[in-house]
Structure 1
């Protein structure tokens, strides 16, 4: 089933207008919720970010946060008890093409679930990455449909034999093309502050909480490209990749060239966090 403008429908019932502003301008926002054992992970945090994005781009929806969250639960329940993700997209709606925002327009919402398994081998063994210039706009905190710079950066990484592209803006590290990036130096975790130059990831928020619980120093401070290359450890986080070590950048090994101890500690703590999440949901269902 699909969530289409607030109702669960079959795929055949979905019709997207050629005048949809998401098609013309990328005029919309989206969220990707991770599903573990049929349950939406960190749902409230995702909902908060979704509504913040809509507020910043002036999309006004007829669904309040609680009502939409309930619909997402219905969609996830229809998906079943497996692991996957829920993709939700909201565009400004359909109207004749003009660069200004129409006065009267209804937003268009589409949501669906897909099976997805964590990339275990990459999480265990780590991945190679590369750096590239961050040429994106200055409101990366909005989870916008405008992802062409990210797409081109990821393609550049793929062609270079890397798994992720790390953005560098004026000599400073911002984030990955589809991930938040962290370095570990002297046992201290550092990551770019959650400002307009990055998208504040939900997994990033979880990692900050876990680091505090584990007693690992955590700093929201940007690092330079030189500090990135000299780091003891580098890892990235995202909804789909969880915590993935970066073992080389631009064909140079990071630290020992293997996943480091702080990254491993965080991975183990994250897995325990997911187990607690599972137990809470099992108890709520019983």
Structure 2
């Protein structure tokens, strides 16, 4: 069953608990993480918790729990839900205070939900997804996984209205990332992805893919690339916690390669699934 957690207490998922003057509610003043659970095991949990700490530090929020305590809360929440395949969302906000832009000195809040895992249609992995290119209009600190997602939401909605799965964002002539994903290109057997800067999120799945590529002797290069480089790729895919690795069939209705998932994409996804399922125990 779906369950919730707020500041030390497990609750019904639909229970009203957020005060009007919660800064996360009024300002988006907080950070979050999203973890997938496979066969009752949260995948790459420590990496997600470590990133939450970095994001919180980036906007001067002191987490109300230690990283070890957060890990324990996540694991206990999964057990209480009874779900084997689930998704865990948790966030930390600055807390509750009278509405004012300046930071108050208040205790931060921590909330969490566990829900049944949503599935990407099998067809999307077999045939690839359609995407569009849009201007990246987000703030300049996208390396912080903050609650301020309105530009992402609007871009994703525009993509969906046109029958596309994702919008790929472009800033100053270069691809940054998707609205909720990182972007990879394969050309002549070499894997390319945008380097880590404040313009993109350091994806947990992105980092795992780069390590898996190294283990599979796939050369990877972190390098800025243009929309033209993307459109001329042999293969391309997006990555995220929610979709794992999802092949890109087309960008702005132009096919990538032959329009079918490529061998490098399939190889990396197979390795990621082995890592997820415990049959690939090490990046070494």
CA RMSD of aligned residues (A): 1.7
Per-residue deviation, 1:11: 4.2
> SS of the residue aligned with 2:31?
strand
Query: 5+ residue gaps in structure 1?
Result: 281-286
Partner residue of 1:106?
A: 107
More helix by share: 1
Partner residue of 1:170?
A: 172
Partner residue of 1:92?
A: 94
Is the 1:4–1:14 contact (alpha carbons within 8 Å) kept by the matching residues of 2?
A: no
Partner residue of 1:247?
A: 249
Q: CA 1:279 to 1:189, structure 2 compared with 1: closer, same or farther past 3 Å?
A: closer
Is the 2:156–2:166 contact (alpha carbons within 8 Å) kept by the matching residues of 1?
A: yes
How do 1:28-39 residues align onto structure 2 when only pairs under 5 Å count?
A: 28-39=30-41
Of 258, 261, 268 in structure 2, the residue corresponding to residue 259 of structure 1 is 261
Query: 5+ residue gaps in structure 2?
Result: none
Per-residue deviation, 1:95: 0.7
- Does 113-122 or 7-16 show the bigger shift? 7-16
Distance 1:205 1:185 in 2: 19
Distance 1:147 1:266 in 2: 29
Distance 1:202 1:127 in 2: 21
1:118 aligns with 2:119: yes
How do 1:204-219 residues align onto structure 2 when only pairs under 5 Å count?
A: 204-219=206-221
The C-alpha deviation readout for 1:38-92, integer Å capped at 9, x for no partner, is 1111011000000000000111123111111111110011122521210102111
> SS of the residue aligned with 2:278?
helix
Per-residue deviation, 1:275: 2.3
> SS of the residue aligned with 2:25?
helix
Q: How many residues align?
A: 279
Distance 1:248 1:201 in 2: 22
> SS of the residue aligned with 1:61?
coil
The C-alpha deviation readout for 1:105-161, integer Å capped at 9, x for no partner, is 111211011111431221222100000000111100000000000000001101122
Of 85, 93, 102 in structure 2, the residue corresponding to residue 83 of structure 1 is 85
Partner residue of 2:9?
A: 7
1:128 aligns with 2:135: no
Distance 1:49 1:19 in 2: 26
TM-score (norm 2): 0.94
Is the 1:185–1:232 contact (alpha carbons within 8 Å) kept by the matching residues of 2?
A: yes
> SS of the residue aligned with 2:73?
helix
Per-residue deviation, 1:13: 6.0
Per-residue deviation, 1:22: 1.0
The C-alpha deviation readout for 1:253-282, integer Å capped at 9, x for no partner, is 0000111111011111112222216999xx
Is the 2:182–2:240 contact (alpha carbons within 8 Å) kept by the matching residues of 1?
A: yes
